[in-house]
Structure formats: C-alpha cells, structure tokens
Structure 1
Amino acid sequence: MFVSDSAAVRRPRIQSRAEATILHADLDSFYASVEQRDQRWLRGKPVLVGGGVVLAASYEAKAFGVRTPMNVGQALRLCPHAVVVPPRMSAYAAASEAVFAVFHDTTPLVEGISIDEAFLDVGGLRRISGEPVEIAHRLRAEIATKVGLPISVGIAGTKFLAKVASADAKPDGLRLVEPGRELDFLHPLPVQRLWGVGKVTAAALHANGITRIGQLAELGEPHLRAILGPAAARHLFALAWARDPRRVETGRRRRSIGAQRALGRRGRAPEEIAAYLDGLTDRLGRRLRAADRSCRTVVLRLRFDDFSRATRSHTLLEATDATASIRHAARLLLDTAQPLVTERGLTLIGLSLTNLDDAGPRQLTLPLEPRAENTLDATLDDLRRRFGSTAVTRAALLKTGEGLSVPLLPD
C-alpha cells in the first residue's frame, strides 16, 4: 500500500464556485416509474421493464438485488414475484419531453445528459426565483404535479458533486452539498463514486488499500500515477479534491450516436447477425439524417458469450450520411471480426457513428458531385416518418423486427 509523502501536508479546498448553484436532476428508475404512473396496479410492486434483458427496475425490485442490464431470468430468480412489462419507448420519450419542458421553464441554462437527467445552472436566479434549494424544491414539485414522476436533485458548486449528491438523494430526494463542506461529503464515499472508476480501476485501487475517496485524495498524484497511469491519476486526483471547473453548457450537440441489439445466448448464423447489423445501420442512418449530421467513423461493438468484449472501427475517407456507405463499412468490420464471433459466440452487437459533423456545405471530391436530395434514403426516411419505423424494413428482419429503439435527447 502507498502512503502520502507527508500526512501533515493538506491540499487547499479548491472548488469552481463559492456557492452551490448547480443542480443535477435525475429521474428515479425512469422507465419503471412511467409504467407505475400509467398503470396504477403496478404501484408499490417490483416492476421489471424489458424482455430478455432488464432495461429498468423499480426500487421495489432493486431491493432484491435486481440491476440493469441483468438477464430477466436472473432477475426473476432474485425477485420471483416481480412483474415484467414490455418497454413502451414512445411513452418514455413523451415523459422526457414533458420533464425537460419543466427544466427549461426553471432556467435557460440546461445541459441534457440523457433523456432522464440534466444539469441546471440557477446561479443568476436568486432575485427572480429565490435560493437554489427553493428552486430545487419547486422543480421536484412541478415534475411530480405536471408529469407524475419522482425525481432526485443534487445541489453543489460543481457538476461532479451535484451528480454525486443526486445519487445520494435517491430515491425521490434532495441533497445539498454546502459550500465549504464539499470534502466532508465527498471523502467518506467509496472510490467507485468517482467518474471514471469502473471495475478494473476499482480493483487496482482496492489492491493498494484504497477504498474511499479520502484515501485517494491523501495518497498524492505521483503515487496514484504509479497505480493508474498519468491521465487517470490526474483526472481522479482532481475530482477527489472536488476540482471540476466545467460549466453547464447549452446547445452542445452530441459527439456520437449508437444503437445495439441483445441476441441472447442462442447460436446465430452469420447471415442472421449481418441482418441485425443492417437493421442497426438503417436506424442510425435515419437518426443521422434527421439531425442533419454526417459521420466519418463507424464503430462495431461486440459482446461474446464469455462476457468479453471487442471493438472495431473504420474511418471513412469523407464524411457521409448515406446508409449504403455506413453499411459497407459496418459489414467490413463484421467480416473481419467473424472468426472471433464463431469462436466465442455473440450475445450483443452494437454500432456507433462518431466524428460527427454538420451535414451542411462541404468540400466536394472528384467527380465533384453535390449531395443528392432525391435519394432512396430520403424516400425511406419520409415513409418511416409518416407511417412509422416499421412501415418499410429489410426482408431479413420481417420475422424478428428491428429491435428496440431507445429514445434520445433531441440533437
């Protein structure tokens, strides 16, 4: 175990603000809460949303150890009396839209993180709306009244601390990290609460006797660098001392979009896997064009039967929003990974598009052909927009469908 160079040396308590004016608002067990709101008989009961995999679990189910994304069969062994309901993505998208309307009515400074959580900066609203704690209480009450959902809110001087505080407040609570007492709140917590500490990093820290954030803070960055490397050490050491100067940003567009499909543990023929990949490609191409974006890099993500994972990526010569170009790159990646799939079996396939850019005017390449407007992609997009995403689908997906399409924040 490493120890600090000097126990007497104390770092100053550095924070980005002298006041706690950043809110992190996070809906509680979002999908499950929507189901309990819309179906009264589910209230107070353990609810699992999903099919083969648990997409969300109510707190009544979590009390039995159910977690996401656990297999539903495993979840039912832990909680045999749980009620399994199929997901209703359109209902969740509508609920998210209503919640974000309340966020934007509260403050113009809203940074959406996902469809069920956001950061809000209320630092300039004291004369209009009162103290941050008062604003947070009203926010929770409005969402409960107008949308009918429970939400937890953390209040702090930094985004990181606000997010940790909202997790501490769950379920359906509010937690203020008072200025000057940030480290009193943060240091007793387990190191897993730091952004960037997953299973591997936590295991490395635990092997050196570091289980709490306070121990990591006292260790010193040089010793931490020897355990985790320079980048991770710098990042985690700063967070351990409550240093997070990031502001709440509005209007920032996402840097990637992705979709995935769980396949279960049954063996799949290569052509069946390829069909699922084509379905993901169609979905992402549609989202890309709807957001008026283009991509340069296609990333294939695989999870095998032994729970190991693999990632393959391909960067295109020029940005595109054409489904055919994206599909060609994705198929090349799958063909390259096929020996691994055959050897280990495949339980999940995912596709991401990164290096996104606006699909506006761009430098043309030979033979200097402009972007066509009347394309097959545009026609299919229009049909699916008017008649639903399943109005036109690939023949290979007629029996299985495209799979679940998780709602996203508007880009």
Structure 2
Amino acid sequence: MSGGVDSAVAAARAVDAGHDVTGVHLALSRAPGTLRTGSRGCCTVEDSRDAWRAADLLGIPYYVWDFSERFQAEVVDDFVAEYAAGRTPNPCLRCNERIKFAALLEKALALGFDAVCTGHYAKVVEGPGGHRELHRAADWAKDQSYVLGVLTAQQLEHVLLPLAETPSKAEVRAEAARRGLSVASKPDSHDICFIPDGDTRGWLAERIPPAEGEIKDAAGAVVGTHPGAHAFTVGQRKGLRIGTPAPDGRPRFVLEIRPKDNEVVVGPREALAVDELRGIRPSWAGRPVPEAEQLLQGPREAGRTSSSFPVLAQVRAHGDPVPARARLELVEGPDTEPVPELVVRLDEPMNGVAPGQSVVLYQGTRVLGQATVSATRSPARPAAGAGGPATGR
C-alpha cells in the first residue's frame, strides 16, 4: 500500500474477494524527507499515514517494512551507476523488478502469504497449458504493463492485480469515495521519488564528479564543451550550450554519449531515428515464445540464433508500440559462457532511444518480456570507416 488511491482500492477489492489481506507499506529511505512529498512522490511519511488510514478503514492488519538499504543499493545506486556509464535507466521499472516483486515477494512467501497484490493497471491471465501471462489493462491510458515487463513466470504465479479490468482511473476514484477512503482525491504521484526537487541533473552532479569534455558532431568535429557527460541523455535538445551553429542552422540533438571518452555527440533530429535495437539480459513474462524457447533449450553455443517472431516493441512507459520482428542471439558472455541477447528490427523507426532504457515486447495485449537496450542502429548515421549504419552504445 503506497498511500495512493490505486493500492487502497486494490486492497479493498481483495478484501471483498474473500482474501485474508495484510497491508504493507514500504519504507524506502531512512530519511523520508529525502523522498518527494505531497502529490510528487510515493513512499514518504505522509504516504505511510495515508496507507495506515486506508488499512484501518478496511479493518486489515498494517505494517511498514523497511527496505531502505536494498532500495538504496538496487535502485538508487544503480541509477547513479547507469548514468555514469552513459545510459538512461528507468528507476520505477527497476524498483518493480528488484523491490516490489523480488524483495517484497520473497519476504511475503517466506512468511506464508500466497501472493502480493498491488494497484498496478495490468492483467494476469491463465494462458494455454495453464501458464500465467501478463497483459495490458482494460484502461490503455493508465496501462502499466510496461513497468511490469520485468516480472518472471514464477513471480506471475504470485501476483494479484485487482484493477486489471477497471475502465478508467475516474472509476477508481469514485469507488474510493464511496468506500470513504480519504485518498479518493489524492493526486497521482509522478517523477522520481528519490530526487526531492525533480532536478535530476543537479542531483546527479552531487554524486558523479564533474569532468569537462567535448561535444562533437557526427563527423567528429568539436562544436562545444560540456561539464559532464552524465548530465545529458539521447534525444536532448535544451541545455547543450553549443557556441558553433550547425551549417544548416537547424537545432541539434544529443545522438550518443561516450562515457569512456567523456564525449557527447550531437546532430540533426533525423539522426535520432533508429531501426534496430539490441538488448541485454532478456527476461520473459511467462513462458517464452516457441522460437526463443527452442534456442534456449538447445546447446549454448555462441553464434546460434532463433527464428524471428512478430512483436510490438515499446521503449517508454506511455510510448507508442511499434511493429517489429525480434530474435534471440547467443553471444559470448563475460565468463565465456554464451548468453542470450535480443535483436529487434523495427518496421518503422523510433526516435531518441537511449542505451539503458528497457524495450518491452508485446503480441497483441500480451507482454512477452523485456531487455535492457545496449545498442541502437540509425540508418541516418554512417559509421566512420564502415560505410554502414552506426551503432551507439
């Protein structure tokens, strides 16, 4: 129970369904004042009080579980490390993966609970052969299946999502008001909970030592300097402070971040378009598609690849899915043991995809799984000395 209206109504519906429900609020910071307050965050002291009031009204036990150390290590420190490496992470997705459906679920199962119930807008259904599948919610405008794409088949066996079929957030609020829940009109939380003022660049600057570097165009010419590559992300236009105008006078955008050389590469908007993504650490939300399953069950030999399969690819929580074909490839891993990588060939280009983002794959409403973007290919950017499209990492 985060202290918001969605988790309060989800708990109420679980009680109505006859489940033996216990409310749990996650304390994610030893100094809760460092998390956002009011309508701009979750998991603060005031949120814990809102959750307690909802649990009291529902007549269910209520606890606060301290996951602050694990949250710091698994989400906050990971966020800093990813930016330092020139990648753009999604901390909410990481929190779902490592805290809410890993640490929380592990503890719940160890204590004898059967499932974790949340107020996420997504749907778990029983598919062919009795295997559980993750699907989009009925309300596509509020659908949160993207940030749940990291759930595994085992985790889906222990997840309840009571808001799955709710047609709109307005209905959830109306239901909360009818039930007398004080959070009925509480504004939605948004942005990153552990950055108090919303200034991600300033927050990172306090944790990653500044190091001035060069801003270059796609041809390698120096067009400016920057105070630290971590302050930029692919697709960014504002704040570049480039003194040299582009030859055509058009705006320039961040195309690539090179942390090893502390360089930022800029170029025209059309160079942001990518037609292929590569993803590392792929996972499957339920049973893998047959093409992937066949590869994974065969010999682990680098160079083997699966047949391609049709998907819809999505790289942002509320981004538009793009038709594509995907395949798995086995590549040499860090310890020479071949590991799978995901290759997604887009039917139409996507703009501004950054390494570190998650690409979530769908077939219809079903979530197949996800991977972390490690590289992209842009047909508008010839690779230096290669005569082909560039791949940015």
Q: Same fold (TM over 0.5)?
A: no
User: What TM-score, normalized by structure 1, do the two folds share?
Assistant: 0.29
Query: Of Structure 1 and Structure 2, which has the larger fraction of its residues in strand?
Result: 2
Larger radius of gyration between Structure 1 and Structure 2: 1
